Amino acid sequence: MDITPIAHIRSPFPEKFGIPRQSGLAEDCTATVEFESEFRSAEAVRGLEDFSHIWLIWGFSEAKWDGAFTVRPPRLGGNTRIGVFASRSPYRPNGIGMSAVRLLKVDMTADHGPVLHVAGADLLDGTPIYDIKPYIPYADCIPEAADGYTGPTKGHRLKVEFAPGVTDGLDPAAVEQIRQLLELDPRVSYDSDPQKVWGMCYGQWNIRFTVAGDTARVVEISPLFTIFAEQKR
């Protein structure tokens, strides 16, 4: 049976670099789920507002499988290979992803509604959504489940500091969202050059930062339209 998108997400991630590797890790980053015209029905989401979290079933629209049966998870340093079906890599035979996100609001007043406002999404802007289901704690949460190589002792979070004046004029909420994203260390695992200046797009901002040891330092935050203007010269 063919499946087609019922919706698309509008997120602050215009490119893959910098997107959290799992949902819920950057819990304050918000997005909206906008339905395709044939699914814009209040009846389709009746009762959804009673749930605090939902599952988004979606497609890796920018990742193509090359036939490899092993991948190199970032959690293992990017050098150890494991089976594709023992991972959540986007490079898989059928590019289907799932994310548990916090449901902030079901907006029934939107002109192209209903629109779902969510937080903690890990999806590229424009990603197709194939299904939505309520998250049910008694069935979806298994506290005693083994976490394999993804255990918390195998991961890390960076300390984040901002150069003087970098955040002047920015909404404190946006600063906190940037902090949460950089704590997750978006770099590729094999490149740890402390002199390298990384660039990450988030919402309307281009964020430039360095990483030395376990500390990320934001050296510049500039509007994205400035970057695009320079590219067109």
Pair (127, 165) in one structural domain: no
Burial of 209 (C-beta count, 10 Å sphere; 0-12/13-18/19+): buried
Q: Is residue 225 part of a domain?
A: yes
On whether the CB atoms of residues 160 and 207 are closer than 8 A, the answer is no
pLDDT tens digit string along 156-181?
789 999 999 999 989 999 999 999 99
Q: Is residue 151 part of a domain?
A: no
Q: What pLDDT does residue 226 have?
A: 47
Q: Please state, for a pLDDT cut of 70, what percent of the chain lies above it.
A: 93
Q: List the one residue out of 231, 185, 228 whose CA is nearest residue 209.
A: 185
Q: What pLDDT does residue 190 have?
A: 67
Q: Residue 170 belongs to what domain range?
A: 156-232
Q: How many domains does the chain have?
A: 2
Q: Is 180 helix (H, G, I), strand (E, B) or coil?
A: helix
Question: How many CB atoms within 10 Å of residue 127?
Answer: 26
Q: What pLDDT does residue 35 have?
A: 96
> Distance from CA of residue 204 to its chain's centroid?
16
pLDDT tens digit string along 182-206?
998 888 766 778 889 999 999 989 9
